[in-house]
Amino acid sequence: MAWQTFPMANSPTGESVISRVVRLMAAFDRQVPSMSLSELSQRAGLPMTTAHRLVEEMLKHGLMERDADGQLRVGVRLWELAARGSQALSLREIALPYMEDVQAAVHQYTTLAVLDHGSVLYLERLSAPDSAAKRALDAAHIAQRAPLHATSSGLVLLAYSPTWLQQEVLAAPLEKVTEETITDPPTIRRHLAEIRQRGYAALPGIAVKGWTGIAVPVFSSGNTIAAALNATVPSGETNVPFTVPALLTAAHGISRALGAGAPSGPRRR
Amino acid sequence: MAWQTFPMANSPTGESVISRVVRLMAAFDRQVPSMSLSELSQRAGLPMTTAHRLVEEMLKHGLMERDADGQLRVGVRLWELAARGSQALSLREIALPYMEDVQAAVHQYTTLAVLDHGSVLYLERLSAPDSAAKRALDAAHIAQRAPLHATSSGLVLLAYSPTWLQQEVLAAPLEKVTEETITDPPTIRRHLAEIRQRGYAALPGIAVKGWTGIAVPVFSSGNTIAAALNATVPSGETNVPFTVPALLTAAHGISRALGAGAPSGPRRR
DNA sequence: CCCGCTTTTCCGATGATCGGAAAGCCGATA
DNA sequence: TATCGGCTTTCCGATCATCGGAAAAGCGGG
């Protein structure tokens, strides 16, 4: 999780090129997808000259691009490289049709997320047709992260993770995202047990006030947890019992497609 | 397009770290998503020691990962960085609901592609329920590239591109992907004109024998071409006239969502 | 025309990078 | 158990890419 933040400024020397490049790329996000060189150098904490040289090189390889205004953006080539190799993305590709099935049955936000480096990482999201939800649930964007303890997906992922990981997560300070966010480790443990027993999580308001996250586990070969499939519905309505079977069905389909069920998955490659 | 191939082997010195890193990442693809260090060093054309050092550093930043067997893969963190910033990906996100609409109407492979560095790059693909197509059309995978002249999407992208780009593409040698692939520049020019006039492309067998690609343009603000929306149907059937309006409707919706229509798009950011 | 801003070029010093050599490690084979 | 072969990791001296300050070159806007 070390690279999650921009900890130190530029060390005058003693830092690898790779970490500088990562800092440059991490300077971009959904809010600020393009910027000038000087802004980039500031946000990345690199001297102008260094930023200039590295950016120039990255442009040459398509890792960055200039848009019409000459502003810098992350290049498609980078996405191409990342998407071609990543297993998470092939998971997404397999899951997508099943997600559409869910979407067709329950007309709500549907997301697919994995556990990576101690947080929830959203791989895919299908949006509800109605736009009220659109505003409220803007948190769960694709390629966005969220804390494990404050999302239904996170709790499901945690519930089926090895004990050492659970302990590690619960030992760290837990942020209160909303009023309802559960931050008490023993209570969370109880919830995790309940999730494992029931096979799904349904928790009102822990991530977004007024909305209930419902999530179920997706397993891969070896029956290890691979992802969480989630739908988010307005709290208070009685659609939780309606949504859960839809998610379970889809999740089961995805798990089967991933080769779950076999006692220990076949070695890939 | 220089980075498209692995041209030269390792130059004993005089090559930037960035280009080495790109070579390492480019060594992975859909067929070989994970490999050992020694295999990686070979495929990337780097000395073992150098590969070892760089990989170690990349692992630290999450750009690569080790799977259960200790094999190396591309890390999700890389995808996260790429997806957060890339404009192409936000285009994908906007287009997805419309693609689902198309998918619901015509039950065929539906893809979204952009023109990048002289080739077609597929951003998204929704697969047809039937699995016959699945095998035949495995070419148009997500994050995969295809030549501009040998796909319906490519020809649409080319038709609405500036003339200098068309000339550049047509000047290069054009590969014959199938029997039907058109490789004669004047003929292609005629097709491009026809595409512009009709507003869509429908060409049988140029990419995959027995299948007809149908593609329409998607415009962004400033009415410049942003992407191509495509559906692929079995040749010979009479479903082309059925598919075209569905694609046009969806493409129009996406274009509107992207801010097309205004004479010159508002400056972003 | 001038001013403030961003971008680009220049260049000397320096330490990260390079990669050969060799040691470790591990599983397979005898 | 001993030997072998392949893969991985450590070590280390030479060197060259990298670093970043300084200054020049663009680029609007007033």
CATH of the domain at A28: 1.10.10.10
Judge if B137 and B223 occupy the same domain.
yes
B52 CB inside 7 Å of strand D: yes
Sheet holding A64-66, edge to edge: A34-35, A72-74, A64-66
Q: What is the mean pLDDT of residues B1-21?
A: 53
The whole-number pLDDT of residue B239 equals: 76
Q: Which residue has the higher pLDDT, B6 or A20?
A: A20
Taking one residue from A and the other from B, the number of pairs with CB-CB distance under 8 angstroms is: 184
Last residue of a domain, one of A42, A58, A83: A83
Provide the shortest C-alpha distance from residue B217 to chain A (in Å): 19
In chain B, which residues have their Cβ closer than 8 Å to the Cβ of A39?
none
What six digits make up the tokens of A7?
Answer: 């900890």
Minimal Cβ distance to A97: which of B25, B96, B127: B127
Asked if pLDDT for residue B2 goes beyond 50, the answer is no
Above 60 in pLDDT, residue B85? yes
Domain boundary among A83, A100, A123: A83
Q: Using the CA of A46, which nucleotide's C1' is the nearest one?
A: D20
Q: Is A269 contained in some domain?
A: no
Whole-number pLDDT of residue A240: 85
What is the distance between the alpha carbons of residues A139 and A127, in angstroms, rounded to a whole number?
12
The pLDDT of residue B130: 65
Residue type, position B112, single letter: L
Pairing type for strands A211-220 and A224-234 reads antiparallel
pLDDT value of position A264: 44
In a domain, B269, yes or no: no
For residue range B227-245, list pLDDT tens digits in order.
999 999 888 766 788 899 9
Rounded alpha-carbon distances, angstroms, from residue A49 to A12, A17, A40, A176, B18: 13, 14, 12, 41, 16
Residue B97, domain member (yes or no): yes
pLDDT, residue A3, reads 29
**Complete edge-to-edge strand list for the sheet that includes strand A109-116:** A145-147, A119-126, A109-116, A224-234, A211-220, A201-204
Question: A54-78, pLDDT tens digit by residue?
Answer: 999 999 899 999 988 889 999 999 9
pLDDT at A175: 93
Residue with tokens 């192409």: B88
pLDDT score for A8? 30
Residues B150 and B27 in one domain: no
Looking at the fold, whether B124 and B150 belong to one and the same domain comes out as yes
Q: Does B107 map to a domain? A: yes
Q: How far is the CA of B6 from the C1' of C29 (A)?
A: 38
Domain that holds residue A55: 11-83
Asked whether the beta carbons of residue B269 and residue A32 sit closer than 8 angstroms, the reply is: yes
Q: Give mean pLDDT, residues A26-51.
A: 90
Q: Using a pLDDT cut of 70, give the percent of chain B over it.
A: 87
- Any alpha helices (H) in B106-222, and if so which ranges? 131-136, 152-159, 163-171, 185-198
Would you state the pLDDT for residue B64?
93
Of A57, A79, A125, the CB nearest to B16: A57
Domain count of the fold of chain B? 2
Does strand D come within 7 Å of the CB of A61? no
Looking at the fold, whether A95 and A178 belong to one and the same domain comes out as yes
Same-domain pairing of B78 and B178:
no
Strand D nucleotides where any atom sits below 7 Å of a protein CB: 6-11, 15-23
Tokens of A126: 């299908």
**Confidence class for position A165, pLDDT limits 50, 70, 90:** very high
The pLDDT tens digits for A12-27 are 556 788 988 999 999 9
Mean pLDDT of all residues in B127-143? 70
- Count of beta carbons in the 10 Å neighbourhood of residue A15: 13
Classify residue A5: in a domain, yes or no. Answer: no
Q: What share of chain A is helix, strand, coil (3-state, %, to 5)?
A: 45, 20, 35
Q: What is the pTM of this model?
A: 0.89
Q: State both tokens at B231.
A: 């559906």
* Least reliable range by pLDDT among A44-53, A163-172, B147-156: A44-53
In this prediction, residue A15 carries a pLDDT of 79
A210 conformational bin, left if phi > 0, alpha if psi -120 to 50, beta if neither: left
Residue A132 has pLDDT above 80, yes or no: no
Rounded, the Å distance between the CA of A142 and C1' of D19 is: 36
Q: Is the pLDDT of residue A9 over 70?
A: no
B7 Cβ neighbours under 8 A, 6+ residues apart: none
So what's the pLDDT on residue A108? Answer: 86
Strand D proximal to B60 Cβ, under 7 A: no
Put the strands of the sheet holding B145-147 in their side by side order. B145-147, B119-126, B109-116, B224-234, B211-220, B201-204
The pLDDT assigned to B47 comes to 86
Banded pLDDT at A4 (limits 50, 70, 90) = very low
Same structural domain, A111 and A174 = yes
Q: DSSP per residue over A25-88, as a string?
A: HHT--SS--EE-HHHHHHHHT--HHHHHHHHHHHHHTTSEEE-TTS-EEE-HHHHHHHHHH-HH
- Classify residue A220: in a domain, yes or no: yes
pLDDT band at A269 (very low <50, low <70, confident <90, very high): very low
Whether pLDDT at B219 is above 50: yes
| Cα B144 from Cα A193, distance rounded (Å) | 42
pLDDT of residue B240: 85
Q: How far in angstroms lies nucleotide C10's C1' from the CA of residue A41?
A: 20
Judged by CB atoms closer than 8 Å, whether chains meet at A28 and B85 is answered as: yes
Nearest to A82 among B69, B82, B88 (CB): B82
Residue in chain A nearest B121 by alpha carbon: A80
Are the Cβ atoms of A17 and B19 closer than 8 angstroms? no
Q: Is the CB of B48 under 7 A from strand D?
A: yes
Tell me how far apart the alpha carbons of residues B214 and B232 are, in angstroms, rounded to a whole number: 6
